[in-house]
Amino acid sequence: MNIYKVRRIIDWIRAQGKLPVDVYGQVLSVDELMGWFRLTECLTPGERLYMRQELAAMVEAELAFDELRLSELLP
Stated pTM of the model: 0.83
What integer best gives the mean pLDDT of the chain? 90
- What is the DSSP track for 11-55? HHHHHT-SPPB-TTSPBPPHHHHHHHTTHHHHS-HHHHHHHHHHH
The pLDDT of residue 71: 73
Domain boundaries along the sequence of the chain: 3-70
pLDDT at 2 over 60: yes
Cβ–Cβ under 8 Å, residues 57 and 73: no
Q: Can you give the C-alpha Rg of the chain in angstroms?
A: 13
Q: Where are the alpha helices (DSSP H) in 16-44?
A: 30-36, 39-42
Q: What is the mean pLDDT of residues 10-15?
A: 95
> pLDDT by residue (tens digit) across 20-56?
999 998 999 999 999 999 999 899 999 999 999 999 9
